[in-house]
A and B are shown apart, each in its own frame.
Chain A
Amino acid sequence: EPEVTQTPSHQVTQMGQEVILRCVPISNHLYFYWYRQILGQKVEFLVSFYNNEISEKSEIFDDQFSVERPDGSNFTLKIRSTKLEDSAMYFCASRKDRELYSNQPQHFGDGTRLSIL
């Protein structure tokens, strides 16, 4: 079964440094998402992306964050200047295009654990 893959599985970065988290969504999916989960807390939505632009973003997704689909397969999340509170699991998800009268689920990767020192 096709999967969403994320790299790296664990990223350790000094505070203030830039970090790029990478995701390869399922190949025929057109909607892409980033979520994060701080240790012991709930999964929080960051941003959704469709047709090469952001379709929705949360309050968490401030100017420090950006997303990009640099080619036909990768979807990246960049944090420009990391803070201690950015430490979390970051999950990428993808979804098929909406079909008439169908609700397609989101498929998640297993995440990147980001540790800010």
Chain B
Amino acid sequence: LAKTTQPISMDSYEGQEVNITCSHNNIATNDYITWYQQFPSQGPRFIIQGYKTKVTNEVASLFIPADRKSSTLSLPRVSLSDTAVYYCLVGDLSNSNSGYALNFGKGTSLLVTP
């Protein structure tokens, strides 16, 4: 699994757009980029996944440049309830030999304040 690097923490005010960037310089050709969110005392929750370019859903957008060595999770107009830890994971989820185990790092702790 590719090693990822993301900021330990970020602060934002309500209503602002938050962009969390993840570096994954040794990403492999078959690797996908997946972001999870975790609230205190809850399990990680899948947010978004992509392979290249841009992916958007009702929660977030994921921007992936052409070289795929980094990705940016964009949360539009955050609210207090977006305070959570955000994890960037990179791996070949189609590799059945791996059992598809997820390798979580420390993530980015986002604090949203009024």
Contact = CB atoms under 8 A, between A and B. Distances in A.
B104 interface: yes
A108 B45 contact: yes
A7 to B, nearest CB: 14
Given A89-B41, A91-B44, A105-B49, A56 B98 contact: yes
Contacts of B96: 55, 98
Contacts of B45: 108
B76 to A, nearest CB: 21
Dominant secondary structure at the A interface: strand
Interface of A: 4, 31, 33, 35, 42-45, 48, 50, 55-56, 58, 89, 91, 93, 95, 98, 103-111, 113
B75 to A, nearest CB: 18
Given A42-B107, A98-B94, A98-B96, A107 B46 contact: yes
Nearest to B105: A42
28 contacts: A4-B43, A31-B99, A33-B100, A35-B102, A35-B104, A42-B105, A43-B87, A44-B104, A45-B101, A45-B103, A48-B101, A50-B99, A91-B44, A93-B43, A93-B102, A98-B93, A98-B96, A103-B32, A103-B34, A103-B49, A103-B93, A103-B94, A104-B93, A105-B46, A106-B46, A106-B102, A107-B46, A110-B41
Contact of A108 (B43, B93, B106): B43
Contacts of B38: 43
The residue in B45, B99, B107 that gathers the most chain A C-beta atoms within 10 A of its C-beta is: B99
